[in-house]
């Protein structure tokens, strides 16, 4: 089974974010082997980014306000294409203070959910929902309307 991995800094401590993420992750398990790796918040962005780069490996997608804005269908296309090339696709979400240029430069793709800034916990919830939506688009299941 193909794997989706979400690598993020910090925990989903807000109940509505944690519960929402858990719901979409549970739904996603019907399509992919999905996991969330939570890295500890560090005293500096540089230290967080050191750990992100160490754990992300090559070819990750960075969730970044300066990235491409994709429709749900285009995100589904990205997921499908990347998982045709490899068995695992990793999405990275930085911590509350974001990421540094090293992480941006190392990312295979940078994707944005718009020009507004979201707290990292809400960005994680949005990503989980959009990955589930992408899975339904790929499989032709009508959820995505």
Number of H helices, E strands in the chain: 5, 5
Which helix (H) or strand (E) covers residue 37, if one does? strand 33-39
Other C-beta atoms closer than 10 Å to the C-beta of 27 total 18
- pTM for this model (two decimals): 0.95
Other C-beta atoms closer than 10 Å to the C-beta of 124 total 26
Is the pLDDT score of 145 beyond 80?
no
Is the Cα dihedral 101, 106, 107, 110 positive or negative? positive
The position carrying tokens 């991995």 is 5
pLDDT recorded at residue 69: 97
% residues pLDDT > 90 (the chain): 91
Domain ranges of the chain: 3-139
What top-level class would CATH report for the domain 3-139? Answer: alpha beta
Is the pLDDT score of 86 beyond 80?
yes
Q: What is the pLDDT of residues 3-27, one digit of tens each?
A: 999 999 999 899 999 999 999 999 9
What is the token pair recorded at 62? 């960075």
% residues pLDDT > 70 (the chain): 99
Which helix (H) or strand (E) covers residue 90, if one does? strand 88-93
Q: At 144, is the pLDDT very low, low, confident or very high (cuts 50, 70, 90)?
A: low
d(CA 61, CA 65): 13
Mean pLDDT of 88-109: 96
Parallel/antiparallel/unpaired status of strands 109-112 and 88-93: unpaired
């Amino acid at each position: 089974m193909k794997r989706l991995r979400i690598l993020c800094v910090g925990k989903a401590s807000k109940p509505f974010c944690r519960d929402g993420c858990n719901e979409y992750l549970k739904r996603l398990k019907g399509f992919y082997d999905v996991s969330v790796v939570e890295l500890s918040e560090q005293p500096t962005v540089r230290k967080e980014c050191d750990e992100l780069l160490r754990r992300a490996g090559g070819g990750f997608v960075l969730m970044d306000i300066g990235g491409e804005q994709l429709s749900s269908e285009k995100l589904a296309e990205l997921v499908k294409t990347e998982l045709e090339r490899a068995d695992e696709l990793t999405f990275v979400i930085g911590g509350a203070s974001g990421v540094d240029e090293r992480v941006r430069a190392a990312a295979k793709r940078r994707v944005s959910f718009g020009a507004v800034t979201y707290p990292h916990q809400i960005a994680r919830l949005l990503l989980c929902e959009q990955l589930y939506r992408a899975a339904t688009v790929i499989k032709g299941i009508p959820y995505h309307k």
